[in-house]
C-alpha cells in the first residue's frame, strides 16, 4: 500500500479545492509571465517564499514563471525548507512514497534519496514533515508549472552551510534537476525596518555571501546559506526577481513578514565580445528578421521553380544584412527536422548566405530527399545567426562536458577527419551535456566512447528567429 503524505495546510495557506487552487495559481502565473524576457535563461536553482498565497503567492510566481520553458526538461525537484513544527538536526528525508495536494500526488524520488541517505547529516524523520508548510506551499506551483517530475523533499534544521552544500552537490546533476529553497525573510518587524533588513539579505544573496545572513533575516537560513555556499563555488549567477513584504500585499504595515524570489543560473559569465555579439545580433533580427525570413522562403520557392537559389543583390538590402555573416537555416514539418544547412563562419554577406543556405537546406541536405511543392504546407522555418567560434582547451571528455553551458553553447567537434556541429537550439531536445555530446559524436561518425589526444572542440553562440503556424504559412503563400 502506497504511503502518501497528505496536505496539512490546504484550505489555510492555499485553497483546498483543486479547481480554486488551479485558478489562483494560474492567475499568479499569468501576471508573472508578462514580466519574463523572451530570452530569459532557465534557472538551475530558485529561492521562493512560503507564506499563505494571499501574502506571498505573487512573489513566488515571479520566479516560478522562469521555469516554464523547461517544463518538459525538469524531471526531478530537490526541495529544501526549514522546520516550523517539529525540530530536527541536520536534514530530514520522508519515508512516504508520494506527497499529495488538491492537484494530485507527486511521487518521491527514492533513487535520489538513496544518494544522500547515508550521509551523517541526513536522516529519515517523518514527524518533521507531517505538518510542515514550508515545503507544501511550493508544491502547487511546481505541479502547475512542470510536466511529470519526481520530488525529493528535505526539511532542514540546524545544519551548517557546508553540510547542506554537500547534499545539494551530490544531487546537482544536469538540467533535469531543479533545486528549490523555501524561505521567507524577516518576521514581525514594522514595515520600514523590514525593508531595511530584507534589503541587506537581498544584497547578501546577490553577493553569494552566506556569512552575511543572520538568524533574524530568513527562517530558511540554513538551506539558503547552503545553496549560497555551493553557488559561489560553482560560479552561479543570481538574479533578484521579487522583494516585498506582507504590508505590500495583504497585511497591515505595523508587523510584517518579508518575501523574496531569486533565480540562480549556471554558465552565465560571458566575455564582453559575446555580450556585444548577442546585443547586436538580437537588434539585427528584431529590425530585419522579417526580411531574412522572407528571403529564405523566396529562395526556397525560387529553387522549386528553377533548381537554383535566389540571386541576391546586396545593394537591395539594409547595410546590417549586407555585412558579412554566418547562418544556419532549419526547416521542420510536424515538429520533425526536414533540413538544416549552414555556414560555420562568415565568408560572404549575410543576405546571400541566408538565400544559399535556405536553398541547400531544402534541396541538398543528404539526410532528406529534395523538398517538393506539396510540403510547403506546414513547413516551418528558422534562421540562426552564428558568432565566430572559439577553440576550447580541454584535457579530456569530462573536462569538455564540465565546460559546456547547456542552452547557450553551440559546439563543433573534430577528430581524425570526422567533424560535426550542433546549434544551441539542439539543447531543447538534448538537455544534458552527456546526451548533447553523445549525439554530436554519432552525427560525426564517432563511437560513443571515442576520444583521443587529437580531439578538438570549438564553441559558439547563436541568435535565432523562427516562424511557425499561420506566420509560416503566410511565407509560402
What does the pLDDT profile of the chain (477 residues) look like in tens digits? 579 999 999 999 999 999 999 999 999 999 999 988 888 899 999 999 999 999 999 999 999 999 999 999 999 999 999 999 999 999 999 999 999 999 999 999 999 999 999 999 999 999 999 999 999 999 999 999 999 999 999 999 999 999 999 999 999 988 999 999 999 999 999 999 999 999 999 999 999 999 999 999 999 999 999 999 999 888 889 999 999 999 999 888 999 999 999 999 986 554 555 567 777 888 888 899 999 999 999 999 999 999 999 999 999 999 989 999 999 999 999 889 999 999 988 889 999 999 999 999 999 999 999 999 999 999 999 999 998 888 888 888 998 998 898 888 899 999 989 999 999 889 888 888 999 999 999 999 999 999 998 899 998 989 889 887 788 888 898
Can you tell me the distance from the alpha carbon of 161 to that of 225, in angstroms, rounded to the nearest whole number? 5
Give this prediction's pTM: 0.59
Kind and range of the H or E run holding 47: strand 45-48
Q: Write the class of the CATH domain 272-476.
A: alpha beta
CATH 3.30.700.20 domain range(s) in the chain = 272-476
Region of 280 please: left (phi>0), alpha (psi -120 to 50) or beta: alpha
pLDDT at 403: 87
Treating both helix axes as pointing N-terminal to C-terminal, what angle do 161-171 and 221-234 enclose, rounded to 10 degrees?
A: 60
pLDDT at 235: 81
> Cβ–Cβ contacts within 10 Å for residue 88, how many?
21
* Architecture of the 4-265 domain: 3-Layer(aba) Sandwich (3.40)
The gap from C-alpha 387 to its chain's centroid, in whole angstroms, comes to 22
Work out whether the CA dihedral 136, 141, 143, 149 comes out positive or negative: negative
pLDDT at 466: 86
CA atoms within 13 A on the CB side of 365: 20
Q: Are strands 122-124 and 91-93 parallel, antiparallel or unpaired?
A: parallel
pLDDT at 268: 53
pLDDT at 156: 98
CA distances from 162 to 50, 236, 305 (A): 24, 17, 67
pLDDT at 1: 53
> Cβ–Cβ contacts within 10 Å for residue 215, how many?
7
pLDDT at 471: 81
CATH 3.40.830.10 domain range(s) in the chain = 4-265
Amino acid at each position: 500500500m502506497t504511503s502518501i503524505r497528505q496536505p496539512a495546510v490546504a484550505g489555510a495557506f492555499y485553497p483546498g479545492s483543486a479547481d480554486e487552487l488551479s485558478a489562483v495559481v494560474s492567475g499568479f502565473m499569468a501576471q508573472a509571465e508578462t514580466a519574463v524576457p523572451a530570452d530569459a535563461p532557465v534557472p538551475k536553482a530558485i529561492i521562493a517564499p512560503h507564506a499563505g498565497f494571499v501574502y506571498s503567492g505573487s512573489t513566488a510566481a515571479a520566479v516560478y514563471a522562469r521555469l516554464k520553458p523547461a517544463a518538459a526538461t525538469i524531471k526531478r525537484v530537490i526541495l529544501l525548507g526549514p522546520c516550523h513544527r517539529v525540530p530536527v538536526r541536520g536534514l530530514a528525508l520522508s519515508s512516504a512514497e508520494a506527497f499529495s495536494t488538491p492537484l494530485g500526488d507527486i511521487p518521491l524520488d527514492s533513487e535520489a534519496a538513496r544518494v544522500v541517505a547515508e550521509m551523517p547529516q541526513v536522516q529519515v524523520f517523518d514527524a518533521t514533515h507531517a505538518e510542515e508548510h514550508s515545503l507544501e506551499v511550493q508544491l502547487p506551483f511546481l505541479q502547475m508549472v512542470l510536466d511529470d517530475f519526481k520530488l525529493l523533499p528535505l526539511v532542514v534544521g540546524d545544519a551548517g552551510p557546508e553540510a547542506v552544500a554537500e547534499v545539494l552537490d551530490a544531487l546537482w546533476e544536469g538540467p533535469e534537476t531543479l533545486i528549490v529553497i523555501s524561505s521567507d525573510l524577516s518576521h514581525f518587524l514594522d514595515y520600514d525596518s523590514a525593508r531595511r533588513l530584507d534589503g541587506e539579505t537581498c544584497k547578501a544573496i546577490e553577493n553569494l555571501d552566506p556569512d552575511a545572513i543572520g538568524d533574524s533575516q530568513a527562517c530558511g537560513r540554513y538551506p539558503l546559506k547552503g545553496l549560497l555556499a555551493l553557488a559561489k563555488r560553482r560560479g552561479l549567477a543570481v538574479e533578484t526577481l521579487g522583494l516585498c513584504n506582507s504590508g505590500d500585499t495583504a497585511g497591515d504595515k505595523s508587523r510584517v513578514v518579508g518575501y523574496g524570489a531569486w533565480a540562480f543560473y549556471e554558465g552565465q559569465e560571458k566575455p564582453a565580445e559575446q555580450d556585444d555579439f548577442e546585443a547586436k545580433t538580437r537588434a539585427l533580427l528584431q529590425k530585419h528578421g522579417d526580411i531574412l525570413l522572407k528571403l529564405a522562403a523566396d529562395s526556397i520557392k525560387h529553387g522549386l521553380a528553377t533548381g537554383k537559389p535566389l540571386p541576391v543583390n546586396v545593394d537591395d538590402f539594409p547595410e546590417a544584412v549586407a555585412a558579412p555573416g554566418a547562418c544556419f537555416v532549419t526547416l521542420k514539418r510536424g515538429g520533425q527536422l526536414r533540413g538544416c544547412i549552414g555556414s560555420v563562419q562568415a565568408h560572404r554577406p549575410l543576405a546571400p548566405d541566408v538565400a544559399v543556405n535556405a536553398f541547400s537546406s531544402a534541396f541538398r541536405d543528404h539526410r532528406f530527399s529534395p523538398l517538393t511543392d506539396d510540403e510547403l504546407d506546414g513547413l516551418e522555418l528558422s534562421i540562426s545567426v552564428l558568432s565566430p567560434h572559439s577553440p576550447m582547451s580541454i584535457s579530456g571528455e569530462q573536462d569538455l562536458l564540465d565546460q559546456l553551458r547547456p542552452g547557450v553553447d553551440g559546439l563543433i567537434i573534430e577528430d581524425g577527419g570526422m567533424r560535426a556541429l550542433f546549434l544551441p537550439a539542439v539543447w531543447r531536445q538534448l538537455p544534458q551535456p552527456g546526451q548533447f555530446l553523445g549525439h554530436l559524436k554519432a552525427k560525426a561518425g564517432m563511437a560513443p566512447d571515442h576520444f583521443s589526444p587529437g580531439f578538438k572542440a570549438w564553441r559558439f553562440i547563436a541568435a535565432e528567429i523562427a516562424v511557425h503556424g499561420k506566420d509560416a504559412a503566410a511565407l509560402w503563400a
